[in-house]
Amino acid sequence: MSRFEQAAAQDFQLPHLDVLESEAVHIFREVAGEFERPVILFSGGKDSIVMLHLALKAFAPAPPPFALLHVDTGHNFPEVLEYRDRVAAQHNLRLHVASVQEFIDRGELKERADGTRNPLQTVPLLRAIEEARYDAVFGGGRRDEEKARAKERIFSLRDEFGGWDPRRQRPELWQLYNGKHAVGEHVRVFPLSNFTELDVWQYIAREKIVLPEIYYAHRREVFLRSGMWLAPGEWGGAKQGERVETRTVRYRTVGDMSCTGAVDSDADTIEKVIAEIAATRLTERGATRADDKMSEAAMEDRKREGYF
């Protein structure tokens, strides 16, 4: 008996993952129906992978009417970049890459003293949106990630500077999304708003979605900085006093190598990852993201600047 036959037999009660999936698909189709030039922000991280998977299902058997956009900080995990290119090719999708490194090389962006490039992404992102005249930009953000994100709408109107003003958000009622915007403005769209980290993993398991291997436990060279296990790479590595060691780790979130920490973990299968997430005492971002530890309102401040 299929999942749906079972549900019909039990007074049509849909499992929560189907409700969340239906909602996300509805959001993709709304954007396809109402916008001229939407794009999916795709980083090769698990949330954007789930987002792309949902977009593919929403328009099947036709391809999704969206291109992909990646803001490459120059500090990304090589495994993730390889995954990104493979997936784009596999589904025959157009992939646009906005490069932070190119902005630095041209002198339009300055490397920060702490070497973190995550906050620098906003400029290339907004430039890419402006140049390609994207009017809707899908992001994989979830409201459970962070307290400023808990206040974010599913359709988030951004001004001509890409900025987010939490006091001027449109109320969002029922499933009626208002995507009206003026020339120069655009709308950020978050189809995974109501997914939690655990929902994402359960959905990945149910749909048998392949992820970059770094999400599963593997042996890796890491060193400890500010309480986080960072992996050395082209971006840099251990400084004096920091000792590189090989540990069994995995990643809960994938951003820049310079600010995304690995967690000690033996979870080398999806079942083990789900068990680990369900029992964890730390949030995804609290455990592994330095960029959100900068201040109490770090995420909100970046969002105001045009970040996701």
Write out the binding residues for another protein, residues 158-197 only, by CB under 8 A.
166-167, 169-176, 178, 180-182, 193-194, 196
Q: What DSSP element (H or E) covers 56?
A: helix 46-59
**Which of 12, 107, 219, 241 forms a contact with another protein (CB under 8 A)?**
12
Q: Do residues 81 and 44 touch, judged by C-beta distance below 8 A? A: yes
113 binds another protein (CB under 8 A): no
Judged by CB under 8 A, the number of residues near another protein is 74
**Which of 47, 72, 135, 144 forms a contact with another protein (CB under 8 A)?**
144
Residue among 268, 235, 271, 227 nearest 251 (CA): 268
Q: What DSSP element (H or E) covers 219?
A: strand 218-225
Q: Using alpha carbons only, what angle is made at residue 73 by residues 230 and 118, rounded to the nearest 5 degrees?
A: 65
**Cβ 264 to another protein shortest distance, Å:** 16
3-class SS shares of the chain: helix, strand, coil, % to 5: 40, 15, 45
The token duo for 95 is 């992939």
Instruction: Give the Cα separation of 47 and 195 in Å (integer).
Output: 10
**Cβ 120 to another protein shortest distance, Å:** 22
**Cβ 121 to another protein shortest distance, Å:** 21
**Which of 9, 13, 236, 245 forms a contact with another protein (CB under 8 A)?**
13
Instruction: Give the Cα separation of 66 and 80 in Å (integer).
Output: 21
Q: Which is nearer to another protein, 238 or 277 (CB)?
A: 277
Query: What residues numbered 279-308 form the site for another protein, per CB under 8 A?
Result: 279-283, 286-287, 296-297, 300-301
Instruction: Give the Cα separation of 237 and 14 in Å (integer).
Output: 48
Instruction: Give the Cα separation of 195 and 20 in Å (integer).
Output: 7
**Which of 37, 57, 127, 247 forms a contact with another protein (CB under 8 A)?**
57
**Cβ 166 to another protein shortest distance, Å:** 5
238 binds another protein (CB under 8 A): no
Which region, judged by CB under 8 A, interacts with another protein, from 4-12, 93-101, 218-226, 237-245?
A: 4-12
